[in-house]
Amino acid sequence: MEAERSALAPFVGDVDLERLLRLVPAGHTIKGAFVAAPAEIVADEWSRLEPTLLRPPRSGKFVTFSDYPLSDFLRITDAAARRRHADVGTSEGHRRLARATFDIFAATALGRVTLSLVSGPSSLLTKYEEIFNRMLSGPRVGVYVTSPESVEVSYTGYYSTREAIFGVLEGAVMACHRNPVVSVEARGEGRYLARVSWAST
């Protein structure tokens, strides 16, 4: 399939959330650290959202390193994207929300240690492999440095949004004060290959 490419031009259209939820395997989970942030954005909608979740948190708060269903994360993230970025379609909203992923991880004790020695986009994106594979159960990521200013990122068993791939990778490069160019190619069910390059701002 032809790769979709972006140099930060806004996406148009909406995420087909229900179709995506039907594809998510039951055993796929994500750590609470990444669910808590979008949940805070929609805290005033919790009485509506909670009945739609497979395993809502018992205390009403997501525990940082506890596992939660990926499908619950997607429902909460979709609501947060609609709230936080109401001026754009949900495709662009999911992308923008995902750009904050490294900021969320950096706020945890593990994140501060893991990210303390990164030296640029290649270094940070290599850490992304470690972070992703530690914080999610089911999907896997591999990061391969292809030049001093580019990497490839392979995803398997991936059933979150394609927009989140763009957003996370763009956000990592932007955090290093570089201009990202990202392309994402679908290679079959749950399989993607992303190519990331950057230049100085």
The residue assigned the tokens 């940082």 is 64
DSSP, collapsed to helix, strand or coil, labels residue 114 as helix
pLDDT at 8 over 70: no
The residue assigned the tokens 């806004």 is 10
DSSP assignment of 92-153, as one string?
HHHHHHHTTHHHHHHTSHHHHHHHTT--SHHHHHHHHHHHHHHHEES-EEEEEEEETTEEEE
Q: Which residues contact 112 (CB under 8 A, 6 or more apart)?
A: 106
pLDDT at residue number 1: 44
- Average pLDDT score over residue span 29-55: 94
Report which of residues 38 and 111 the model is more confident about.
38
What tens digit of pLDDT does each residue of 150-159 get?
999 999 999 9
Domains defined along the chain, listed by start: 4-200 (3.90.1520.10)
What's the pLDDT band for 190 if we cut at 50, 70, 90? Answer: very high
Alpha carbon of 177 to those of 1, 10, 102, 171: distances in Å? 31, 20, 14, 10
What's the pLDDT band for 104 if we cut at 50, 70, 90? Answer: confident
- H or E segment at 133? helix 121-135
pTM for the whole thing?
Answer: 0.90
- What's the rounded Cα separation, in Å, for the pair 36 and 38? 6
